[in-house]
Amino acid sequence: MRTIRSLVQGLLCLVVIGFAAPAALAGADDEGRTLLEALDTDSYAAKGEAVTAIAESGHPRSRDWLEALLDGKLQRQEDTGRFVVVLANRGRHWPVRDALSDEELGEMSRRDLDRIGINNALRGRLQNTLALLDLRTPDVTARREAARDLLGEVSPAMVEPLTALVEGEADDEVRRLLTQAIAIQRLAQGDVGAVEALSGSLNASVRSALSAAARSDDAALAEAAREALAGIEQKLELNGGLETLYFGLSLGSVLVLAAIGLAITFGVMGVINMAHGELIMLGAYTTWGMQQLLPGQPGLALLLSIPAGFLVAALAGIVIERGVIQFLKGRPLETLLATFGVSLILQQLVRTLISPLNRTVVSPEWMSGSLMINEGLSLTLNRLYVLGFALLVFAGLMLVMRRTRLGLEVRAVTQNRAMARSMGIRANRVDILTFALGSGVAGLAGVALSQLTNVGPNLGQNYIIDSFMVVVFGGVGNLWGTLVAGLSLGVINQVLEPWAGAVLAKILVLVFIILFIQKRPRGLFPQKGRAAEG
């Protein structure tokens, strides 16, 4: 009996819920219809009151209605009186959806629809109302964006409700932005006290408002605005310097990636490898090829390109070392000429097999955009990732050189090849592995470069001379020297470019290195060992 009674009670609950749900929905629809019908009037004053009623109703679709009204897309079907939202107003028949249920209704003839019109005053009221609605959303990011959009757009009627919102706002950033928005409006009315709230802000709307106030006939207001602008200009110069430093470090990180493999092979084997730039190019083309194999997945393709680019360039390096360089050891000039010929062959091979045209590598979504530090400084994410990647590669290479047997043998051969041979180290094997390692790192440089520039047959030629400058400036065969030299030259070049131009900046850097080598022939961090001293 108890089981039967429980079953009956459950069925009664379901019946009650079944009747209550449609009733609740019908009630919501009735409320929404009442709110929308108040808009269908010739009186713009009454429409304004209806807009206020919709905003304060808390109806889940109130914002959609107000936005459609502002855009001229909220209309009423003449024969049925149904309110609809026009999805696209092109042609004679427009696709629409029901304003209350959000159900798509197909297409309707534009002659059967009557647009609910607004005037300029109501348009401004709608914009203010939508802004206030956005500021009441639980999403902090949306509130910040809405508050930022209000800078320079606050009307006198919005000051009171915005002041109330500031007092109840929990997020400091939203509160700061709203305070500045109110202050801009007060500043336009000649309030000197508003300048203090705007001092130090790097926002363009704030600077524009202060610039206008600095030209005011009110001497006190103009002086206060000029002082605030002077402080802002100092902060902008500081942020500009930090941005130049960031771009210099990102350029330097590319130089480090391009030169670090060259530093290893040059230090161990004494080989001037003019094909090093083409090994960089192979790494970049590997990234492009991986994206062709995995269309629509740029992130996965990029991650797989890191080991793939290393292996492709390392194998190409082994072929170059076994096919050319091993026969020319101890003859730097012949090595330079031979590897220059190899570089031309690799360039032509890519032009023939792929294309002479540049290829674009798509960056994944997580590498796109910028990291905003403040309103005067933002860091592009792709360069930030390349900088971090360069430091990781450098750290990994340092571990290999310091913590592995290969690293020990490389350092031994670098310092004194003859002594290393007498100790049982197979110098030829070390040469092969070293050249493969240096070439693989060049391939990683190509993977990184593919995220900053287009991939083409001449990609490596843009970095080979700079790579040699980094190696010579830092000290042949010294990884720390390569890191310091690469980052330093990147920053120096970036500082010189704005006032000297790209070409003259490179010439000045080259002259600086020549003068530096005259003073310190072995670079910043000289190589140690008897061979180096000799």
Whichever domain contains 327, its CATH number is 1.10.3470
Encoded amino acid at 193, one letter = G
Q: Does residue 412 belong to any structural domain of this protein? A: yes
Report pLDDT for 5.
Answer: 52
Domain span at residue 315? 240-533
Examine residue 121 and state whether it is found in any structural domain, yes or no: no
Q: List the one residue out of 283, 284, 273, 279 whose CA is nearest residue 316.
A: 279
176 touches 198 (CB < 8 A): no
pLDDT tens sequence for the chain (534 residues): 444 455 445 544 444 434 333 433 344 477 788 888 888 888 888 888 888 888 777 788 888 888 888 888 888 888 888 888 888 877 788 888 888 888 888 888 888 888 888 888 888 778 778 877 778 788 888 888 888 888 887 878 788 888 888 888 888 888 888 888 888 888 888 888 888 888 888 888 888 888 888 888 888 888 988 998 999 889 888 988 899 899 999 889 988 988 888 888 776 777 788 888 899 999 999 999 999 998 888 889 999 999 999 999 999 999 998 888 888 877 778 888 888 999 999 999 999 988 888 888 888 888 888 888 887 888 889 999 999 999 999 999 889 888 888 878 877 777 677 777 777 788 778 888 888 888 999 999 999 999 888 898 988 888 888 888 888 888 776 788 888 888 988 888 888 887 777 788 888 888 888 888 888 877 777 665 444 444
Check residue 23 and give its pLDDT: 39
Which residue, among 369, 368, 364, has the nearest Cα to 303 in the 3D structure? 364
DSSP collapsed to 3 states, 78-139? CCCCCEEEECCCCCCEEEEEECCCCCEEEEEEHHHEEECCCCHHHHHHHHHHHHHHHCCCCC
> Which element (helix H / strand E) includes 199?
none
Number of domains in the chain: 1
Q: Is residue 86 part of a domain?
A: no
- Domain annotation covers residue 117: no
What does the pLDDT read at residue 18? 42
Relative to beta strand 370-374, strand 83-86 is unpaired
Give domain status of residue 517, yes or no. yes
Within a domain: 183: no
Q: Answer whether residue 527 is part of any domain.
A: yes
pLDDT for 527 equals: 62
How many angstroms separate the Cα of 425 from the Cα of each of 145, 409, 448? 64, 7, 34
Q: Largest Cα–Cα distance of the chain, in whole Å? A: 106
Instruction: Give the pLDDT score at 63.
Output: 80
> For residue 526, which phi and psi values (nearest 5 degrees)?
-65, 150
Q: Three-state SS across 339-368?
A: HHHHHHHHHHHHHHHCCCCCECCCCCHHHC
Does residue 106 sit within a domain? no
